[in-house]
Structure 1
Amino acid sequence: MATVVATVEAMWSREMAAMMGNMNQGTSGGPTAILNKCKEINEGITELTRKREGQLVSAQKALLDSSTGKEDQSSRQTLDYIEDEINTALRYLRDQFKRVKETPGSGDSRVQGQVENVSRNLRREIEAYQRTQSDFQKRLEEQVRRRYEIANPEATPEELEQGVQNVLMGQEQSFVVPGTRSRQANDARQATLQRSAAIRKIEQDLIELSHLYNEVAELVHQQEPAVQQINQGAEETHRNVEQANTKLDSAIQSAKNARRWKWYALIIIIIIIAIIVGVAVGVTQANKSANSSK
């Protein structure tokens, strides 16, 4: 039977193959690749929802309805398997969402809405799973209490409460089996121990789910400084380009002015030379005229 993880991995593999083709274009896939990732993670979440509402609920009901030690053990094994599948799938989806957030361009306005939508969907599924497990835990605790009462009909309310808490903590020796009702008591004891073990597993899973939820929520905000830094860098680069263009325009104008003044200077020099030459020629002609008159 294909698991949720296998389904998500298969979808992600197809996406990665397509993304590798896009990398030849000089980008990391761009907005289209990121949107495809978001779509496939959402599909994985949808598959996980079906498993939670279908297989998990059925396995929980089977354990609650079981009446023999053999049924209890079989139901527990099936339930543990499905819970482990869901927990593994949630961690896997968390990792894939982290990869999306680390992909260049995930803060682009064209994809940011879909990225945030994936985060909300994943957190919503984690919350739904937490509620399902919490409700199941309460029903198991009720069954533990009833079966402990069956095995210990003479216990006072205080002894009953203490005994139930000991069983829930995994202290099997707390479950007393009166010899006068050994068969019924042993059945109750077996059922109680199976359920108390399931409760302890749920408690541990709920702690991990809480951490998982916080990690997904923090991923959105953890990447914002990087995105802001990129935007600030782009703005600074734009300002630098504008300043460079301004300086370049100024340099070009200065060069034009310098060339213009060079021409002015050359013309003045030519005029001065012409004046000097004219004066020299005039003086020479005057001297010649004076000599001729003598």
Structure 2
Amino acid sequence: MSYQSLGDNNQGGYGQYNPYGAQQNPYGAQETPYGGQPQQSYGYGHANAMEQGNGGYEMSNVPDKNALLTKINELKQGIEDVKRKRQTQLRAAQAALLESNTSKEDQVTRQNVDYIEDEINTALRYLRDQLKRLKDTPGCGAPGPAEHYTIAKKSLQDEITAYQGDQSNFHKRLEEQVRRRYQMANPEATPDQLEAGVQAVMQGQEQAFMTPGTRSRQANDARQATMARSAAIRKIESDMRDLAQLFTDVQELVIQQEPAVTQINQGAEETHRNVQQANTKLDSAITSARNARRWKWYALIIILIIIAIIVGVAVGVTQANK
């Protein structure tokens, strides 16, 4: 996603903030626990600072419709970037956590999942804020920008919903792993004990997974793996609450048609009706004028005929008298 032409903070524009700008990954940008090329870093720390008021990116008045449409298209591109990150990087990182087998892998992969999730969460909040700024921009309610704004809003809502769905599925798979590993470590537990133990582990109570008399490395790895997954579960649950609020925020951004634009449109429609009425009256007048001219010619011809008859009669009488 590129926000490089969004203006200057000193000029009241969006600012030069890019939520996907380069920043070092706190978990190691060169480490890719699930294989492939080194992960690109996207700097959500800067975005958090922006959201807390440490940097402004207020939107200035857009001079024309084309400039406003450009801003909306940039927003759409940002949504596509988040979608691509979710479908590729996040899903790969989640698969790596589900497939990891050692405590070291669990730690690294879980941190990588957390990092990418934070990137997506921050980007979605940023896009929501940009949508708010566009809504308050003069001209956004005009025909053209209004339709594109509505499409961008719907795309952002769809992406939040898709992200919630992915996180819910990942949550279920993690919970299944926690339950299965706890049951393996406590094979004699009753169903009630199993459920209580699993819930305790998912709440972060590490001692609930301890197996009396077991000190093997395998048992320790199983405990570490379970706790890593329970931590990921708790983070997802927290993020899901934030996503629900984020979706509500976007849903409430209903753009209103600008009164001035409405008046202009109404004036244009009234002018069009007046022109049509004037044309109708003009056509009627032209028809009447043509009919009047036609009757004048008819009258003139009749008069000429009468005059000819009178002259003819007069001539005939004169000749008869002679």
Residue 188 of structure 1 and its aligned partner are, at CA, apart by 1.2
Q: Which residue of 2 aligns with 1:74?
A: 108
Residue 152 of structure 1 contacts residue 176 of structure 1 at CA under 8 Å; is this kept in 2? no
Residue 139 of structure 2 contacts residue 258 of structure 2 at CA under 8 Å; is this kept in 1? no
Q: Which residue of 1 aligns with 2:4?
A: 10
Counting only pairs closer than 5 Å after superposition, residues 62-211 of structure 1 correspond to structure 2 as 62-180=96-214, 182-211=216-245
SS at match of 2:140: coil
Q: What residue identity is the alignment partner of 1:129? A: Y
In structure 2, the CA distance between the partners of 1:11 and 1:45, relative to structure 1 (3 Å rule), is farther
Residue 155 of structure 1 and its aligned partner are, at CA, apart by 1.1
In structure 2, the CA distance between the partners of 1:81 and 1:180, relative to structure 1 (3 Å rule), is closer
Residue 102 of structure 2 contacts residue 221 of structure 2 at CA under 8 Å; is this kept in 1? yes
Distance in 1 between the 2:5 and 2:165 partners? 28
Residue 34 of structure 1 and its aligned partner are, at CA, apart by 1.6
Q: What residue identity is the alignment partner of 1:125? A: E
Question: TM-score, structure 1 length as denominator?
Answer: 0.69
Moved more, 178-187 or 94-103: 178-187
CA RMSD between the two structures: 2.6
Alpha-carbon deviations, 1:138-192, whole Å to 9, x = none? 0000000011112212211110111001111112221122324633322111001
In structure 2, the CA distance between the partners of 1:177 and 1:10, relative to structure 1 (3 Å rule), is farther
Distance in 2 between the 1:11 and 1:65 partners? 42
Q: 1:43 aligns with which of 61, 74, 77?
A: 77
Residue 76 of structure 1 contacts residue 198 of structure 1 at CA under 8 Å; is this kept in 2? yes
In structure 2, the CA distance between the partners of 1:218 and 1:204, relative to structure 1 (3 Å rule), is same
Distance in 2 between the 1:211 and 1:81 partners? 21
Larger relative helix fraction: 1
Q: What residue identity is the alignment partner of 2:194? A: L
Alpha-carbon deviations, 1:227-278, whole Å to 9, x = none? 465568x58xx8xxxxxxxxxxxxxxxxxxxxxxxxxxxxxxxxxxxxxxxx
Larger Rg: 1
Q: Which residue of 2 aligns with 1:31?
A: 65
Residue 11 of structure 1 and its aligned partner are, at CA, apart by 5.3
Distance in 1 between the 2:111 and 2:72 partners? 34
Question: TM-score, structure 2 length as denominator?
Answer: 0.63
Alpha-carbon deviations, 1:58-113, whole Å to 9, x = none? 00000000000000000011111100100010001111111110101111112111
Q: What residue identity is the alignment partner of 2:85? A: K
Residue 37 of structure 1 and its aligned partner are, at CA, apart by 0.9
Residue 27 of structure 1 and its aligned partner are, at CA, apart by 6.2
Among all aligned residue pairs of Structure 1 and Structure 2, give the percentage whose two residues are the same amino acid: 54
Q: What residue identity is the alignment partner of 2:104? A: K
Q: What residue identity is the alignment partner of 1:88? A: T
In structure 2, the CA distance between the partners of 1:92 and 1:144, relative to structure 1 (3 Å rule), is same
Aligned length: 220
Residue 13 of structure 1 and its aligned partner are, at CA, apart by 4.3
Q: 2:92 aligns with which of 33, 52, 58?
A: 58
Residue 56 of structure 1 contacts residue 79 of structure 1 at CA under 8 Å; is this kept in 2? yes
Distance in 1 between the 2:186 and 2:116 partners? 33
In structure 2, the CA distance between the partners of 1:79 and 1:107, relative to structure 1 (3 Å rule), is same
SS at match of 1:173: helix
Q: What residue identity is the alignment partner of 1:207? A: R
Residue 45 of structure 1 contacts residue 122 of structure 1 at CA under 8 Å; is this kept in 2? yes
SS at match of 1:28: coil
Distance in 2 between the 1:10 and 1:155 partners? 59
Q: What residue identity is the alignment partner of 1:93? A: L
Q: What residue identity is the alignment partner of 1:31? A: K
Stretches of structure 2 lacking an aligned partner (at least 5 in a row): 15-59, 268-322
